Copies of this chain bind each other. A is one copy, B any other.
């Protein structure tokens, strides 16, 4: 390297004294706060597009409430209210029954970007960066100039009310109008005003966001009042608290050299060997022994003195060492029973199949789990309206028998149900950038005709997919789509094929029932004719004949059923799809 330095030095030239002096140029040198940065780059926080911004605001506030309740082990009761107070000017309020925020932490929790409890932990939660709600408060203030109202009550019994804004120059909270309320309250209430947003219904709306949130959180009650004072309430269909997700130790397979060095700085361990065992998941004595054989320094040295090169050796040695797959205890799926309850209560389909796969691992180090639901018929899918076919322009008016022109009613646009795919990451709905998402791609890769659905797009189906992981591989910082990790694609496909197969069987069952009904109808229609003819030719008793004939028909249909039960004569309309792995 010294040689490299010398080589570079020979390239340095005395470039003379022309041009403006560096000292002059650097007089305007300034430092800027992260709040100022996001003020200039709000699109990085998902705050762009009037409807998308509104949905993102509600997402951040509701996510915060759900996470808080979950961590504290409280069944969430959340109220969301949007009021229109001017042109593209709204007030948004969210009240929860969570643990509240300790009085002295309110400022930094809500009025400072990049502050929070979740940044450095590996735990399956919705929020992670410590930006969400403080970003929202910043956005409120730069569009309206107004502070955000916060009321917080914790178990100590005091209810504090205050107004908060962010000094963007210093990224620090400004608290005003602080006082205590007499009313007892445990939870957090946040109320804030916004401009440059717009309330609209539709696929990317707050309504849709909350409907999907309710589906993935059957233990939560969510009440929503829209700007027209219409109230929608999703009552909890499950009264059991989900397991609290626990923090995970990182699995050795996913660790970078930088992390190996950084984590060593904070350990309590006195030896590298114990640092490894204490810090990483599945790192036992056997693994330590194996690593020791592959490195060129003392594994009992002080981890605080671990150099980059030594850490690099360990990371290389890890690649040559066998480890048990990551611990998956800390993944908390919603669970089949609860997803089914939720879909039945909110989507209200004719039929519903759910499947929670076993946990799996991607990129060798991250545990994940896929849950899918397939709701069909009834209110499943979403309503779309189809325009009536246009009439030919110069068509002659129809006339009645008397030559009077019949005034025909305009054909109204028809409403039909179309399929919808509702995507989730750690139970939080993903509403945007569906095209680039691994979930959408997998759903599209299924050949639905094999499962009796001739045209999936216009079928009354709701496909539910929830991916849970301590490390969701998003495609971008916008966190709106999941990247194409092969293991995730495979697991999702297998899960979808399972529910699709069950739906297929159900659809065939329905067709058979319909066939049987038809047969019975035909018998019923012609039996009297047959009886009449027989009476005429044989002179036998009509009533008796009719009775015997009915009996024969019933027995014939019963025999069909039995044959079916024995597996004979079964003609499936679909052929079994090969497993996903063969398809690839």
Contacts from A to B (Cβ < 8 Å): 4-5, 8-9, 11-23, 25-26, 28-34, 36-37, 40-41, 43-44, 68-69, 71-74, 77, 79, 91, 93, 95, 97-102, 105, 108-109, 112, 114-117, 119-121, 129-130, 141-146, 149, 151, 153-156, 159, 181, 183-187, 189, 191, 256-258, 261, 307-309, 311-312, 476-477
B145:A97 contact, CB within 8 angstroms = no
- What residues on B are CB-neighbors of A15 within 8 Å? 74, 77, 97, 153, 185-187
Majority secondary structure of chain A interface residues (helix, strand, loop or mixed): mixed
Q: Give the CA-CA distance A105 to B25 in the complex, in Å.
A: 11
CB of A477 to closest CB in B, whole Å: 5
Q: Once bound together, how far apart are the Cα atoms of A22 and B308, in whole Å?
A: 39
Tell me if B186 and A29 are in contact (CB < 8 A).
Answer: no
User: Can you sample 10 A-B contacts with CB below 8 Å?
Assistant: A11-B95, A13-B97, A14-B186, A19-B74, A20-B72, A23-B102, A25-B99, A29-B109, A44-B44, A145-B258
Question: Bound complex: CA of A149 vs CA of B4, how far in Å?
Answer: 11
Top 6 A-B pairs ranked by shortest CB distance? Answer: A145-B308, A19-B72, A19-B74, A12-B185, A15-B186, A22-B154
Cα distance, A97 to B31, chains bound together (Å): 25
A513 to chain B, nearest CB (A): 48
In angstroms, Cα B187 to Cα A18, docked, is: 11
Knowing A102-B23, A149-B5, the reply to whether A18 touches B74 (Cβ < 8 A) is: yes
Do residues A130 and B32 form an inter-chain contact, with CB atoms below 8 A? yes
Nearest Cβ in chain B — how far from A75, in angstroms?
9
Number of copies: 2
- Please pick, from B37, B93, B116, B130, the residue contacting A114 in the complex, using a CB distance under 8 A: B37
Q: Which residue of B lies closest to A181 (CB)?
A: B9
Shortest beta-carbon distance, A140 to chain B, in Å?
A: 11
Chain B residues with CB below 8 A from A119, complex form: 30, 32, 36, 40
Contact A183 B12 (CB under 8 A): yes
Q: How far is the CA of A146 from the CA of B261 in the complex (A)?
A: 12
Q: Could you say which residues of chain B place their CB within 8 Å of the CB of A187? A: 12-13, 15
Let me know if B72 and A115 touch, CB within 8 A.
no
| Max chain B C-beta neighbours (<10 A), residue from A33, A99, A156 | A99
Query: Is A25 in contact with B117, judged by CB distance below 8 angstroms?
Result: yes
A44 contacts across to B, CB distance below 8 A: 44, 477
Which chain B residue lies CB-closest to A5? B149
A480, chain B: closest CB distance, angstroms? 13
Contacts of A77 in B (CB 8 A): 15
**Considering only CB atoms, which chain B residue lies closest to A130 in the complex?**
B32
Q: In angstroms, how far is the closest chain B Cβ from the Cβ of A106?
A: 10
Q: Are B120 and A30 in contact (CB under 8 A)?
A: yes
Q: A20-B73, A32-B115, A119-B36 are in contact. Are A185 and B13 (CB under 8 A)?
A: yes
Bound complex: CA A22 to CA B72 (Å): 8
Are A115 and B185 neighbours in the complex by a CB distance under 8 Å? no
Do B100 and A30 have beta carbons less than 8 Å apart?
Answer: no
**Cα–Cα, bound, A121→B30 (Å):** 11
Enumerate chain B residues within 8 angstroms of A72, measured Cβ to Cβ.
19-22, 25
Chain B residues in 8 Å Cβ range of A257: 143, 145
A18 nearest CB neighbor, chain B only: B74
Do B145 and A8 have beta carbons less than 8 Å apart? no
Please determine whether B154 and A23 come into contact, CB atoms closer than 8 angstroms. yes
State which of B5, B11, B191, B258 has its C-beta within 8 Å of the C-beta of A143: B258
State how many angstroms separate the Cβ of A93 from the closest Cβ of chain B.
Answer: 7
Task: Point out the residues of chain B lying under 8 angstroms from A120, CB to CB.
Answer: 30, 32
CA A121 to CA B27, docked complex, whole Å: 13
Q: Collect the chain B residues with CB atoms within 8 Å of residue A69's CB.
A: 19
Q: Are B129's CB and A40's CB within 8 A? A: yes
Q: Please name all residues of chain B whose beta carbon is closer than 8 Å to the beta carbon of A26 when the two chains form the complex.
A: 101-102, 105, 109, 117
Q: Known pairs A4-B91, A4-B191, A19-B72. 17 more at Cβ < 8 A? A: A11-B79, A11-B95, A15-B185, A19-B69, A21-B72, A21-B155, A22-B154, A23-B102, A25-B117, A26-B102, A30-B116, A31-B114, A32-B114, A34-B114, A145-B308, A145-B312, A146-B308
Q: Is the CB of B30 within 8 A of A117?
A: yes
- A144 CB contacts on chain B under 8 angstroms: 308
> Nearest chain B CB to A153's CB is how many angstroms away?
8
Whether the Cβ atoms of A8 and B71 lie closer than 8 Å is: no
Contact A71 B25 (CB under 8 A): yes
Complex contact A22–B102 (CB within 8 A): yes
B308 and A8: CB pair below 8 A? no
Contacts of A261 in B (CB 8 A): 145
The interface residues of chain B lying within 8 Å CB-to-CB of A154 are 21-23
Q: Is the CB of B41 within 8 A of A142?
A: no
Please give the distance in Å from A11's CB to the nearest CB on chain B: 6
Q: Provide the residues of chain B in CB contact with A32, threshold 8 Å.
A: 114-116, 119-120, 130
**Contact A186–B37 (Cβ < 8 Å):** no
CA distance in complex: A117, B29 (Å)? 4
Residue of B nearest to A223 (CB): B11
Instruction: Indicate which residue in B8, B109, B117, B191 contacts A93 across the interface (CB closer than 8 Å).
Output: B8
